[in-house]
């Protein structure tokens, strides 16, 4: 969740500005507060602020802090409220040790109680501050590196920690949460985010489980928790097209990323045949195939179960990543787990993969970020190739997953080219949604919806997951309560929520669910609901119609986009930030 950036290198007259610039590219990971610490003349200069990195930038406008060592942090609060005292970096009693952290120290209360007995003074309510005092205590009898390593061994939970001292030494250690190193000349950079470092250098070292990095002005060494040995890091060359990260004339990243989706679909249609065919063979050879993911990726996984049933006539199983370990007893060596994650760092998804690995099962990853943890622990990877996502709401990665699942489904039948043809039709259909008149229509509808308390969305079959995803987008961005339902479940309780004027979105594809979902729409209308139809044809039950083209079994790819745009326009009308919704972060790296 939280964003980490650290620097060790040449003396910079304004190291504080470098830290702030890099943190501003990490604040999608958390924007409750931000802070930096720069080692200046053997003393750490620490600056913190509640809110986004831009708030801290404003606070430091005109101030330059020079130094050769510095760390910074953007926070998504877990322990302790959103306040300046709880913002990172945290320091020990002496002020000579500073720490930034991503994760949760599950046993921090026990550790803190012991440290208080030894006379340590705490200034925050966070679990993170415990680590600074642990290192201080261990340093009384050990060198800095050993003190940090032994302190980290005492922590329970999944954590990434970067700690520096006033001698200019920096150590990063990880268990679970991501941490990577980049080197460019004499400068060393450490971060929770691979794309951020690829903006600086292509020489990347990915820190593995229970490993870390030791840096001073002259040395860069890898370390492990279980050994005193140090070694030279083996760098990978990782390049990410940074042009795709810029807004390119769009006011917000969310809108830009929605508009990029036709090209994402075409990329998958044009570049994946060998990998798709290999994946289809893996599924055919498996004794039980399981999909797992979280959030938006989970809705793509659920949609995949319908695609595999309808297209490939193949049964597959789905579970949320957070729930999958409770199903792991079904797994055997011949099982296949397909895990999907935009970042490849979603903790619950990684835990599901680890559960599969405990049983010797094969794992296939669908991931967007090269070098991610998910890629490294999987047997095979299909890249989404959606380009970087900066908006917290995932859009184009969702479309990429749907596109891959569609191609795999058709490849199971030996009809890869049919799947490609459908994707190309879908890409063309999406482009038509972005015409000026269609956008005007969506804006008019969004204005009608912006003051509503509830929006309900129904779908059936392939488009039941589309209803869930559409609702998620609306509530994530606009904070309107939106809920997606299987159309047939209305009369089993849900319809009690509907009253006169309640907006209900009905997703109607030209498939075998059409008559049933239209009947459900009529049931809603008879209770006073206002029916908004998303469909290739306009039906009498609709009060408002958003036309989409009929693309057969690829309908979930096309049908979600009007609701993505609806979520965006409602959010803008409410004067909210669609790129950074409250309480959310892009990469969910805690359980």
Q: What's the CA gap between 148 and 142, in Å, rounded?
A: 9
Q: What's the CA gap between 328 and 341, in Å, rounded?
A: 19
Phi, psi of 168 (to 5 degrees): 85, 15
Peptide bond into 84 cis (omega under 30): no
Phi, psi of 73 (to 5 degrees): -155, 140
Question: How is 222-243 classified by DSSP, letter by letter?
Answer: EEETTEEEEE----EE----GG
Q: What's the CA gap between 586 and 344, in Å, rounded?
A: 11
3-class secondary structure, 42:
coil
How far, in whole angstroms, is CA 136 from its chain's centroid? 34
Query: Is there a contact between 342 and 297 (Cβ–Cβ < 8 Å)?
Result: yes
Q: Active site residue: 229, 525, 586, 591, which one?
A: 586
- Residue 387, CA distances (Å) to 172, 263, 276, 567 in order: 28, 10, 19, 21
Tokens of 359: 């049983």
* Residue 441 designated active-site: no
Q: What's the CA gap between 163 and 144, in Å, rounded?
A: 10
Tokens of 434: 């972005």
Tokens of 125: 């309510």
**Would the CA dihedral through 514, 517, 522, 525 be positive or negative?**
negative
Q: Active site residue: 2, 294, 504, 506, which one?
A: 2
Detail the DSSP E strand segments found in 536-577. Answer: 544-547
CB neighbours of 198 closer than 8 A, spacing ≥ 6? 182, 204, 238, 239, 240, 242
- CB-hemisphere CA count at 13 Å for 494? 22
* Residue 574 designated active-site: no
What are the catalytic residues? 2, 586
């Amino acid at each position: 969740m939280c964003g980490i950036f650290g620097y060790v290198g040449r003396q910079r007259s304004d190291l504080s500005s470098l830290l702030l610039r890099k943190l501003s590219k990490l604040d999608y990971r958390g924007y409750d507060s931000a802070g930096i610490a720069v080692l200046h003349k053997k003393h750490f200069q620490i600056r913190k602020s509640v809110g986004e990195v831009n708030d801290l930038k404003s606070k430091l406008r005109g101030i330059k802090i020079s130094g050769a060592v510095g760390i910074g942090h953007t926070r998504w609060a877990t322990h302790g409220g959103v306040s300046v005292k709880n913002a990172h970096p945290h320091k020990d009693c002496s002020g000579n040790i500073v720490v930034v952290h991503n994760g949760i120290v599950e046993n921090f209360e026990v550790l803190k109680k012991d440290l208080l007995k030894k006379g340590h003074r705490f200034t925050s309510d966070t679990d993170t501050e415990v680590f600074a005092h642990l290192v201080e205590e261990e340093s009384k009898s050990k060198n800095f590196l050993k003190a940090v390593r032994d302190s980290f061994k005492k922590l329970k939970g999944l954590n990434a920690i970067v700690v520096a001292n006033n001698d200019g030494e920096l150590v990063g250690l990880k268990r679970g949460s991501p941490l990577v190193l980049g080197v460019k000349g004499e400068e060393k950079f450490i971060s929770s985010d691979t794309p951020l470092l690829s903006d600086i250098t292509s020489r990347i070292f990915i820190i593995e489980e229970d490993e870390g990095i030791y840096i001073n002005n002259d040395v860069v060494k890898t370390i492990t928790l279980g050994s005193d040995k140090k070694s030279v890091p083996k760098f990978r060359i990782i390049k990410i097209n940074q042009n795709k990260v810029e807004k390119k004339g769009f006011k917000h990243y969310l809108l830009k990323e929605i508009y990029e989706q036709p090209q994402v679909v075409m990329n998958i249609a044009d570049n994946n045949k060998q990998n798709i065919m290999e994946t289809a063979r893996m599924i055919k050879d498996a004794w039980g195939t399981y999909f797992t993911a979280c959030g938006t990726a989970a809705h793509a996984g659920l949609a995949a179960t319908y695609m595999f049933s309808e297209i490939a006539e193949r049964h597959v199983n789905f579970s949320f990543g957070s729930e999958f370990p409770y199903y792991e007893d079904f797994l055997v060596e011949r099982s296949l787990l397909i895990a999907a994650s935009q970042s490849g760092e979603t903790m619950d998804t990684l835990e599901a993969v680890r559960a599969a690995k405990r049983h010797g099962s094969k794992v296939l990853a669908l991931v967007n970020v090269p070098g991610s943890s998910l890629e490294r622990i999987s047997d095979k990877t299909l890249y989404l190739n959606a380009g970087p996502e900066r908006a917290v709401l995932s859009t184009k990665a969702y479309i990429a997953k749907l596109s891959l699942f569609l191609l795999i489904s058709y490849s199971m039948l030996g009809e890869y080219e049919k799947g490609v043809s459908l994707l190309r039709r879908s890409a063309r259909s999406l482009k038509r949604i972005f015409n000026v008149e269609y956008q005007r229509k969506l804006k008019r509808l969004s204005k009608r919806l912006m003051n509503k308390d509830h929006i309900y969305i129904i779908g059936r079959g392939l488009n039941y997951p589309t209803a869930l995803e559409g609702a998620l987008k609306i509530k994530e961005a606009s904070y309107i309560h939106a809920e997606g339902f299987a159309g047939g479940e209305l009369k089993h309780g849900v319809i009690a929520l509907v009253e006169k004027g309640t907006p209900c979105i009905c997703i109607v594809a030209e498939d075998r669910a059409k008559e049933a979902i239209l009947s459900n729409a009529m049931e809603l209308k008879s209770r006073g609901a206002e029916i908004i139809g998303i469909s290739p044809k306009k039906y009498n039950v609709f009060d408002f119609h958003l036309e989409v083209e009929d693309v057969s079994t690829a309908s979930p790819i096309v049908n979600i986009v009007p609701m993505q745009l609806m979520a965006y326009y409602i959010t803008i009308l409410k004067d909210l930030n669609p790129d950074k919704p409250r309480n959310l972060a892009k990469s969910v790296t805690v359980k």
